């Protein structure tokens, strides 16, 4: 009986051994949940990822001050702006001769222009007529006879420019033919030579009436075209090329430009303003020169300016204004 009980005890305890518990090791697959844990483990990382996204926002805020630092760079550029003041280089362009205006124009136009007497001797407000306000080329404030007081100063300027141009043509036309020895070159004998037929074509030049009629017709045509009463004919100008009469409509009758400025010397209004001053100054000098030719011819008995100049250069002390105008006095006892 005791042996049976002992055997029973051994049998009861036999299952107790870890043999049956060994299968418990099979739950080792419980390690499989670990992948889930690993899968869930990254989940918190994803939650923290947005934190990283917000971090750049902070850096952007820090980067924002950076443009503020670049603002001083703009102020530096403004300091460099004085370089623009160096633009007076343009003044050098004006001095090049292409553009002759700029500061030079103020010498001839406006209230600060040059007057016919030095500064300090004239008061522009009291000594210079109000109608001479510096708008016309060559306005020196000189009108002692008050000719422009009637309000026709613009018409007088047209007449002055026309006479100035005729005088500038007349001076070389008087001096050059006489110096070259052309028949009738002496202006005091030109008419006589033409009338005598010594210059050729006596049937025309020898007839004073026909010659006068031709001259009047030609000048009438010129004046008609200038005044605009007649439409100028088509023509051709060097460099400019062909032009039509309508090309002159609306242009200044005294300084039309266009086809007549085929060299384009007055390409800008400033250049034209300065050229007007030069023209009227040379024209006035030419008118005075022609007056001198007339007086000298009458004083020397009809001699021309070329002859007068040659005699004076040959013997300056024996042939001059004093010796010519001196009265021959015979001493009386």
**Per-residue pLDDT tens over the stretch 266-279:** 888 899 999 999 99
Q: Region 51-57: what's the mean pLDDT?
A: 46
Identify the residue with better confidence: 68 or 87.
Answer: 68
Terminal-to-terminal C-alpha distance of the chain: 216
Beta bridge partner(s), residue 243: 235
Rounded-to-integer distance, Cα 63 and Cα 263, Å:
63
pLDDT given at position 331: 64
What token pair was written down for 324?
């010519």
What's the pLDDT score for residue 319?
87
Position 156 scores a pLDDT of 93
Q: Give the model's confidence band at 46: pLDDT under 50 very low, under 70 low, under 90 confident, else very high.
A: very low
Which two structure tokens, joined as six digits, stand for 94? 């004006």
Residues making up the binding site for chlorophyll a: 163, 205, 278-279, 282, 284, 296, 312
pLDDT in tens, 215-269: 899 989 888 887 778 888 888 988 888 988 888 888 887 888 888 888 888 888 8
> What CA–CA distance (Å, rounded) separates 49 from 30?
30
Note the pLDDT of residue 38.
45
Q: Which domains does the chain show, CATH number per domain?
A: 104-150 (no CATH), 151-314 (1.10.3460.10)
pLDDT tens per residue across span 301-329? 889 999 999 999 999 998 888 888 776 66
Considering Cα of 60, then 62, then 63, then 65, what sign does the dihedral take?
A: positive
How many other CB atoms are found less than 10 A from the CB of residue 189? Answer: 16
86-115 pLDDT, tens digit per residue, is 333 333 333 333 454 444 788 899 988 989
Residues of each annotated binding site for chlorophyll b: 116, 160, 165
pLDDT at residue 295 tops 70: yes
pLDDT in tens, 71-84: 445 444 454 444 44
10 vs 198: which has the higher pLDDT: 198
Binding residues: 116, 160, 163, 165, 205, 278-279, 282, 284, 296, 312
User: Measured at the alpha carbon of residue 132, what is the angle toward residues 131 and 134, in degrees to the nearest 5?
Assistant: 130
Which pLDDT belongs to residue 232? 80
pLDDT tens readout for residues 151-202: 899 899 999 999 999 999 999 999 999 999 888 889 888 877 777 766 566 6
């Amino acid at each position: 009986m005791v042996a049976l009980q002992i055997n029973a005890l051994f049998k009861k305890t036999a299952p107790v051994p870890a043999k049956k518990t060994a299968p418990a090791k099979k739950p080792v697959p419980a390690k499989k949940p670990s992948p889930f844990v690993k899968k869930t483990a990254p989940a918190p990382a994803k939650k923290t990822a947005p934190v990283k996204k917000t971090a750049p926002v902070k850096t952007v805020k820090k980067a924002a001050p950076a443009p503020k630092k670049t603002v001083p760079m703009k102020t530096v550029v403004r300091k460099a702006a004085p370089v623009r003041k160096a633009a007076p280089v343009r003044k050098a362009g004006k001095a090049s001769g292409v553009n002759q205006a700029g500061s030079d124009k103020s010498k001839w136009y406006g209230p600060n222009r040059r007057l016919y007497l030095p500064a300090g001797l004239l008061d522009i407000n009291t000594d210079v007529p109000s109608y001479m306000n510096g708008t016309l080329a060559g306005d020196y404030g000189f009108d002692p006879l008050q000719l422009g007081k009637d309000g026709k100063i613009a018409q007088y300027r047209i007449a002055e420019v026309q006479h100035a141009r005729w005088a500038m043509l007349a001076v070389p036309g008087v001096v050059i033919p006489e110096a070259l020895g052309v028949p009738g070159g002496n202006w005091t004998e030109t008419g006589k030579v033409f009338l005598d037929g010594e210059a050729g074509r006596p049937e025309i030049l020898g007839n004073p009436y026909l010659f006068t009629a031709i001259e009047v017709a030609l000048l009438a045509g010129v004046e008609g075209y200038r005044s605009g009463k007649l439409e100028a004919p088509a023509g051709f100008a060097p460099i400019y090329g062909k032009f039509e009469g309508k090309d002159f409509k609306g242009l200044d009758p005294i300084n039309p430009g266009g086809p007549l400025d085929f060299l384009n010397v007055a390409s800008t209004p400033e250049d034209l303003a300065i050229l007007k001053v030069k023209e009227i100054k040379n024209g006035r000098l030419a008118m005075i020169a022609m007056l001198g030719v007339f007086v000298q011819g009458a004083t020397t008995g009809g001699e021309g300016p070329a002859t007068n100049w040659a005699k004076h250069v040959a013997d300056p002390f024996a042939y001059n204004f004093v010796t010519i105008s001196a009265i021959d006095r015979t001493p009386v006892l």
